[in-house]
């Protein structure tokens, strides 16, 4: 699990799980709305990465269906999974910790991280209901800085 394929792009990284019925769908839907507003910059200069915190259930096929349900443009938005140890390690690098509940859901910290085109963590948004216009402006600002 690496951001190598996104070098030279501003990247927004989130942690979600497909069977979530609470905050993850809100976050994913909000990001899909911003994706649509970014126009041609999305995919060419800006990318989104959503990493599952439930890799035991979120297979590539499950994540593909989840992405399709939200209208994610997979030319610029990757939905990633991996073995549990790798997912936890990547999550910790961004300050995200997750724990499975007895009901089978996953409690996790909601952080959306913005990485600049040089690969440096620049901004983190807490929660799923942050200001989408500010989020879009911040992404575009990271692209403009790299010119």
The torsion defined by the Cα of 62, 67, 70 and 74, in degrees rounded to 10, comes to -170
Tens of pLDDT along 96-147? Answer: 988 888 887 888 888 999 999 999 999 999 887 789 999 999 999 999 887 6
Q: Binding site annotation covers 108?
A: yes
Token code pair at residue 92? 């910790």
Q: What pLDDT is attached to residue 127? A: 82
Q: Are 83 and 47 in contact (CB under 8 A)?
A: no
142's CB contacts (< 8 A; 6+ apart) are: 10, 114, 116, 117, 122
4-145 under CATH 3.30.1050.10, yes or no: no
- Is the pLDDT assigned to residue 3 strictly greater than 70? no
pLDDT top residue among 54 and 5: 54
For the segment 90-100, the average pLDDT, to the nearest whole number, is: 91
Q: What pLDDT is attached to residue 7? A: 80
89's CB contacts (< 8 A; 6+ apart) are: none
For the segment 78-101, the average pLDDT, to the nearest whole number, is: 92
- 35 pLDDT band, cuts 50/70/90, is very high
Phi, psi of 56 (to 5 degrees): -65, -35
Residue boundaries of the structural domains of the chain: 4-145
Tens of pLDDT along 40-57? Answer: 999 999 999 999 999 999
Q: Are 41 and 143 in contact (CB under 8 A)?
A: yes
- Using CA atoms, how far residue 64 sits from 103, 120, 122, in Å, is 24, 28, 28
| DSSP, res 95 | T
């Amino acid at each position: 699990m690496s951001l190598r394929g996104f070098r030279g792009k501003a990247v927004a990284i989130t942690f979600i799980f497909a069977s979530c019925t609470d905050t993850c769908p809100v976050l994913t839907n909000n990001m899909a709305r911003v994706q649509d507003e970014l126009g041609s910059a999305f995919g060419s200069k800006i990318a989104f990465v959503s990493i599952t915190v439930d890799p035991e259930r979120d297979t590539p096929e499950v994540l593909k269906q989840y992405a399709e349900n939200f209208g994610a443009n997979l030319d610029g938005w990757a939905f990633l999974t991996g073995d549990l140890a790798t997912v936890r390690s990547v999550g910790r690098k961004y300050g995200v910790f997750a724990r499975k509940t007895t009901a089978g859901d996953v409690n996790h910290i909601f952080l959306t991280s913005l990485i600049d085109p040089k690969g440096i963590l620049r901004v983190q948004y807490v929660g799923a209901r942050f200001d989408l216009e500010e989020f879009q402006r911040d992404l575009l600002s990271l692209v403009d800085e790299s010119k």
